[in-house]
Amino acid sequence: MADARSGWGRWTLRALAAALLAGVIARVGTDPVRPAPAPAVATAPANPDRVFTSPREAIALSGVPAGAVESVLKVSAPMHYGDAIWREAGVPAGPIWVRVDRRSQILSVFRGPHEIGTAVILYGAPEKPTPAGRYPVLGKAAYHISRTYNAEMPYTLWLTRDGIGIHAGNVREGAATHGCIGVPKDFARRLFDLVQVGDPVVIV
């Protein structure tokens, strides 16, 4: 497991951002809408829950090894505040990594090169922004109450030593956080159960 994690740890923020620019992960706007992805390539295995990316497209991603992202979830309807999808059936074992896109308000969970979960998120208000960067998960807390804000933070994955993390929240229009990433509660529970200390989270 250590070798697998160190290999994935060499991925750069720039490389993962390039994956977004290449259309691997769809963008959404202020009223989140995740468009249906492009049709699967002809050689892809038949699977109605996922869209497979072209090997040539993967090779073209700057700094991303061929096959780094092989499939993303098939999202056939727009996603809005509070929406989340989790489909991991049939996905083989592999290192877990998480990607958070503040501009699109989307979090994606990957097992190896396959996306297994996605959710619309809340992120930090302008006066308390969510910091970009690559963070290993430092710790986990199934139930936490912020002493600073007197706020419940169920299923927290700690990313920084000054209190930034991913946790369950009321993901609704017009809301923001004090720097954390808020996701729907059921999704947060699944993510909490899956992610281990040391797994990488990339925020762009």
Over the stretch 172-190, which tens digit does the pLDDT of each residue have?
A: 888 888 889 999 999 999 9
User: Which pLDDT belongs to residue 26?
Assistant: 42
pLDDT of 117-175, one tens digit each? 999 998 888 888 999 988 999 999 887 676 666 567 799 999 999 989 999 888 888 88
User: Which pLDDT belongs to residue 141?
Assistant: 87
Q: Which of 104, 109, 88, 82 is nearest to 23 (CA)?
A: 104
The rounded distance, in Å, linking the Cα atoms of 193 and 66 is 29
The rounded distance, in Å, linking the Cα atoms of 161 and 19 is 28
* 69-75 mean pLDDT: 83
Mean pLDDT check: name the lowest of 22-26, 38-42, 67-71.
38-42
User: Which pLDDT belongs to residue 63?
Assistant: 37
User: Which pLDDT belongs to residue 6?
Assistant: 45
Return the number of other C-beta atoms located less than 10 Å from residue 32's C-beta: 21
pLDDT of 80-127, one tens digit each? 889 999 999 889 999 998 888 888 888 989 898 888 999 999 888 888
Task: Using CA atoms of 172, 174, 179, 183 in order, give the dihedral in degrees to the nearest 10.
Answer: 10
Q: Which of 165, 172, 164, 168 is nearest to 187 (CA)?
A: 168
* 56-60 mean pLDDT: 42
Three-state helix/strand/coil letters over the chain:
CHHHHHHHHCCCHHHHHHHHHCCCCCCCCCCCCCCCCCCCCCCCCCCCCEEECCHHHHHHCCCCCCCCCCEEECCCCCCCCCCEEECCCCCCCCCEEEEEECCCCEEEEEECCEEEEEEECECECCCCCCCCEEEECCEEECCCEECCCCEECCCEEECCCCCCEEEECCCCCCCCECCCEEECHHHHHHHHHHCCCCCEEEEC
Instruction: Let me know: does 68 contact 61? Beta carbons within 8 Å.
Output: yes
Identity of the amino acid at 23? G
Mean pLDDT check: name the lowest of 34-43, 48-57, 117-126, 147-156.
34-43
Residue 64 pLDDT greater than 80, yes or no: no
